Amino acid sequence: MSAATATSLQHDFRVISLIGVAHGVSHYYQLAFATMLLIVRQEAGLSYADVGLLAGIFYGVSGVTQTAAGFAVDRFGARPILAGGLLVVGLGLACISVAHSFLGFACIAVIAGLGNSVFHPADFALLNSSVNPHRLGRAFSIHGLGGSLGWAAAPVMYFLDSMFGWVGAALIGALPGIVLSGLVLVHREQLVDHRVKVRAAAAQAGGRPGLALFLQPALLLCLAYFALIAANTVGIQQFAVPAWSGMFGVTENYAAFCLIVFIAGSAAGILVGGYFADRVRRHDLVAALGLLAAAALTVPIATQTVSPALLPVLLALAGAAGGITNPSRDMIVRGATPPGASGKVFGFVYSGLDIGSFVAPPLYGVLMNSGLPAVIFWIAIGLYTFNAGMVLLIRNSSARRPAYPAAAE
User: pLDDT by residue (tens digit) across 104-122?
Assistant: 999 999 999 999 999 888 8
pLDDT digits (tens, 9 = 90+) for 370-380: 899 999 999 99
Cβ pair 129, 14 in contact under 8 A: no
Could you say which architecture CATH assigns to the domain 14-399?
Answer: Up-down Bundle (1.20)
pLDDT bucket at 326, cuts 50 / 70 / 90:
confident
**Per-residue confidence (pLDDT) for residue 403, from 0 to 100:** 46
Least confident window among 213-217, 296-300, 396-400: 396-400
Q: At what angle do helices 102-116 and 48-76 cross, to 10 degrees?
A: 30
Provide the sign of the torsion angle of the four alpha carbons 364, 60, 184, 8, taken in this order: positive
**Per-residue confidence (pLDDT) for residue 409, from 0 to 100:** 39
pLDDT at 325 over 50: yes
Q: Cα separations (Å) of 10 from 13, 51, 68?
A: 5, 44, 33
pLDDT bucket at 383, cuts 50 / 70 / 90:
very high
Q: Whose CA is closest to 365, among 111, 108, 56, 154?
A: 56
pLDDT bucket at 93, cuts 50 / 70 / 90:
very high
73 compared with 304, residue with greater pLDDT: 304
Q: Give SS3 for 100.
A: coil
pLDDT digits (tens, 9 = 90+) for 232-289: 887 777 788 899 999 999 998 899 899 889 988 888 888 888 777 777 777 778 888 8
Q: Say how far apart CA 330 and CA 285 lie, in whole Å.
A: 14
Q: Cα separations (Å) of 5 from 1, 166, 304?
A: 6, 49, 53
Q: Among 90-99, 118-127, 147-156, 396-405, name the most confident range.
A: 90-99
For 204, how many CA atoms within 13 A lie in the half-sphere containing its CB? Answer: 15
**Per-residue confidence (pLDDT) for residue 94, from 0 to 100:** 92
pLDDT digits (tens, 9 = 90+) for 115-161: 999 988 888 888 877 777 767 777 888 888 888 788 778 888 988 98
**Per-residue confidence (pLDDT) for residue 338, from 0 to 100:** 63
Q: Whose CA is closest to 120, among 137, 91, 140?
A: 140
pLDDT at 408 over 50: no
- Please state, rounded to an integer, the average pLDDT across all residues of the chain: 82
Q: Say how far apart CA 348 and CA 144 lie, in whole Å.
A: 18
**Per-residue confidence (pLDDT) for residue 405, from 0 to 100:** 43
Cβ pair 298, 377 in contact under 8 A: yes
Cβ pair 149, 97 in contact under 8 A: no
Q: Whose CA is closest to 330, among 290, 280, 277?
A: 277
Q: Which amino acid is at 92?
A: G
Cβ pair 327, 185 in contact under 8 A: no
pLDDT digits (tens, 9 = 90+) for 166-204: 899 999 999 999 999 999 888 776 676 655 555 555 555
pLDDT digits (tens, 9 = 90+) for 238-254: 788 899 999 999 998 89
Q: Cα separations (Å) of 197 from 128, 189, 332, 347?
A: 9, 16, 21, 17
pLDDT digits (tens, 9 = 90+) for 76-88: 888 889 999 999 9
pLDDT bucket at 407, cuts 50 / 70 / 90:
very low
What DSSP character marks residue 338? P
SS3 annotation, 233-280: HHHHHHHHHHHHHHHHCCCHHHHHHHHHHHHHHHHHHHHHHHHHHHHC
Q: Say how far apart CA 366 and CA 360 lie, in whole Å.
A: 10
Share of the chain above pLDDT 90, in %: 27
Question: How is the chain split into domains, by residue range?
Answer: 14-399
